Structure 1
Amino acid sequence: MIVFDYADNLRHTHGDLVDQVYILRAQSFLERRGWSVEVKDNREIDRFDAMNPLYVLSVAPSGQLLASLRLLPTTGPHMLSDVFPDTMTGARIIRHPLILESSRFCVDTAAAKNHMAAGVNTVTGELLVGLFEIALNAAIVNVVSVYDLFVERILRRAGCRFNRLGEPVAYDGLKTVAGVFEVSQVTIDSIRQRSDIHGDVFAMAEGESRLSVRA
C-alpha cells in the first residue's frame, strides 16, 4: 500500500516510517551501489529533506517499508538544478509550477524479491503507480528525475513513458541521465499492466481525503 504526505507531517504521524526511509536509502545508495552520499548513524539524509518534500512510500501490511521516493517542486531548489545540472547538456534548467522532481528512488530488494510480475518488481510498480496517480490528481503535467542507466532500464521495463533531457554524464562512475516523464492515465495503465497491479494502492484512514500537492 502507498502512504504519502509532506515530510514534516510524516515525521509527526509516521516517524518510524520516515526513519526506515533514511536507513533504506543508506543501504541502497552507499552500501549496495557505492554512491558518494553522506551517511550518519546508518541513515542517509541530505539538505533537500529539510525542504519539506512529499514522501511517497510503499509499505507492507506489517509496517515494513518496501520502497520510497520524494517529490520536490522544480520552482525551488532541487537535485536536477543544484546537483546534476550537467545532465541537461547545456539546456535551461526546468522550473515550472506543474512539473515536479522525483528523487531518492529506492527499493528494499531483499524484501521485494518475491514480488514479481512479467519480470517487473511489483513493489517498484506500486511505488510508480502511487507517484503518477498523486501527480495526475494534482494536475501535474510532467515529472523530471535523474538516474543512472541501470535504473533507466528498470523504469522503461516497468512501463514508464519518458524522454532523456540530455546525454549521459558520469557520476560516481555511473552513466547518469535526466529524464522527463509523462503524467497521464496512459502511463498509469501501462505501469499497472506491466506490474499486474489492480485496485486502489493508497492507504487512507476513514474519512481522509487525498492530499493536494504544492508545486
Structure 2
Amino acid sequence: MQVLAISPDRYVEHQNLLKQMHQLRVNVFGGQLEWDVTIMDGGERDQYDDLNPTYILATFGGNKVVGCARLLAVQGPIMLERTFPQLLRHGSLLASSRMVESSRFCVDATLPVGKEGGQLHLTTLTMFAGIIEWSMANGYDRIVAATDLRFERVLNRAGWPMARLGVPLVIGNTVAIAGTLPADEMSFERVRPPNYRSAPSYAEGHSRRSAA
C-alpha cells in the first residue's frame, strides 16, 4: 500500500486516481453514510474541491484508490468555517498559518488486506500517518476537522485523540463534532503501521509513502 500526495500541479498527471477518489467518496458518503452530497459525473464533489486542495490518497496495487483525504490551508475558505460554523464554540476558528484543514476523509473498509484481530484497518492507519507526515513536511503542526462521534472514537483507538472545538451537534443523520489534531513526530510514530516507509521528502510536489 502506498500514500501519495497530489498537489494542484499534479492533478492532470494523476487524473485517473482522482476520478477513483471521487467515486470512493460517492460510495462512502452517499452510499454507506447516506449523507446528502452532490454527485457529478459519477463522483462526489463540493465547492471546496475547486480551491486547489492537496489530496492524500492511499493506493493498493499501485493503481486502486482505497483511502483519501482533502487538505486546505485555513487562511482561505474551509469547510469547518463556511459550512459548519455551528460546530465551533465561538462560531469561527482562530486561524493560524500552522493549521491545515482535513476533510472528506474516507477509506474502502471492504479491502481484506490489513484488518486482523479487531484492530483498525491498515488503510486507516496509513492515511493517518500520511496526513501527519505531509502536514509536518509542509510547515503545519495542527490539523482541524469536522467529523462525527463515530470517527472521534476511531481517532482515540488509534492513539491520536482530537481536542474538541465545540459541543457535538446533530447535523443531518449524524452527530458531528469539530476539533484539532496534533501533527508531530509523537503522533506520527503512534499511528503509523509497522511496515510504513517514508520516501526522502514529503514536501509539496515530492510525495510518495508506502506501507506493506
- Fold match (TM-score > 0.5): yes
State the partner residue of 1:116.
Answer: 115
Structure 1: stretches of 5+ with no match in the other structure: none
Q: CA separation in 1, counterparts of 2:163 and 2:83?
A: 20
What stretches of structure 1 move > 4 A for 4+ residues in a row?
Answer: none
Deviation per residue, 1:83-120 (Å, 9 max, x gap)? 01000132532321110000000101112x43125611
Alpha-carbon deviation of 1:210?
3.2
Which stretch shows the higher mean deviation, 90-99 or 60-69?
90-99
State the partner residue of 1:163.
Answer: 163
Work out whether residues 5 and 211 of structure 1, in 8 Å CA contact, stay in contact via their aligned partners in 2: no
Alignment length (residue pairs): 203
Which stretch shows the higher mean deviation, 87-96 or 47-56?
87-96
Work out whether residues 101 and 143 of structure 2, in 8 Å CA contact, stay in contact via their aligned partners in 1: yes
Aligned CA-pair RMSD: 1.8
Q: What is the 5 A alignment of 1:11-90?
A: 11-90=11-90
Work out whether residues 88 and 165 of structure 1, in 8 Å CA contact, stay in contact via their aligned partners in 2: yes
Helix, strand or coil: the match of 2:4? strand
Q: CA separation in 1, counterparts of 2:161 and 2:139?
A: 17
Which stretch shows the higher mean deviation, 11-20 or 155-164?
155-164
- 2:158 maps to amino acid: A
Deviation per residue, 1:162-190 (Å, 9 max, x gap)? 21111001111211000100111110111
Work out whether residues 70 and 102 of structure 2, in 8 Å CA contact, stay in contact via their aligned partners in 1: yes
Deviation per residue, 1:120-172 (Å, 9 max, x gap)? 11100001100001111222110000101111111211221321111001111
Q: CA separation in 2, counterparts of 1:155 and 1:117?
A: 18
Work out whether residues 126 and 201 of structure 1, in 8 Å CA contact, stay in contact via their aligned partners in 2: no
State the partner residue of 2:92.
Answer: 92
TM-score, scaled to structure 2: 0.89
Q: CA separation in 1, counterparts of 2:194 and 2:10?
A: 26
Structure with the higher fraction of residues in helix conformation = 1
Q: CA separation in 2, counterparts of 1:120 and 1:133?
A: 19
Identity within the alignment, %: 26
Q: CA separation in 1, counterparts of 2:142 and 2:13?
A: 29
